[in-house]
Amino acid sequence: MDARDADFKKEVDATLQARRELGEEYESALVDSFLEKVDQRIDGAVERRVRRQMAEAQMVVARGSRTPKTADSWAERFGFGIVSLVLAIPLSAIGAYNARLAGLLVTWAGIVGVNAVQAARTNPGLFGTRRPKSSSQDSDWEG
C-alpha cells in the first residue's frame, strides 16, 4: 500500500467517523465532500497519465524515431533471418535443378531482396539516407 492509498483510507475512515458523530442531517454534506476528494484524486491520476504519455510522445518526436513496436524486437529479426536461411536450402535446390546457375542466382537474389526489405522496414534510413551537406563540404566540390 503506497502513501496515496493510506491517505485515501484515512479520508474514508474520517468521513465515516464524522458521519457517526454528526448524525444523518450532515450525511449529504459529508458524502459530497468525500466525492469531491475522490474526484480530485481521479483527476490527478488522469493528469499524471496524460503528462507521462505526452512526454513519451515528445521523446519519440525529439529522437526522430517511430513509436517502438513489439513486432520490431530482436527475436523477430533473428527469427526472420533463421527462417529465410532455412527456406533458402530447398529453394536453392529447386532453382538449381530447374534452371541451373541462372535459377540459383534468381533464387538467391529473391532471398537477399526479402531480407533487405525486412532490414529496411526495421531500420528506417538504413539504405541511402541523404544527410544535409555543410557549407564546408559544398565549397570543396565547387571549383
Q: Which residue has the cell 522496414?
A: 121
Residue type, 18: A
Residue 40 burial (CB count, 10 A)? 10
Task: Write down the pLDDT at residue 139.
Answer: 47
pTM of the full structure: 0.41
Which residues in the chain show pLDDT less than 50? 135-140, 142-143
Spatial distance between the Cα atoms of 14 and 8, rounded to a whole number of angstroms = 10
Task: Write down the pLDDT at residue 138.
Answer: 47
Nearest Cα residue to 76 out of 125, 121, 108, 107: 121
Task: Write down the pLDDT at residue 131.
Answer: 53
Task: Write down the pLDDT at residue 13.
Answer: 85
Q: Which three cell numbers stand for residue 105?
A: 542466382
Task: Write down the pLDDT at residue 67.
Answer: 53
Q: Is 72 in contact with 78 (CB distance < 8 Å)?
A: no
Q: How many residues does the chain have?
A: 143
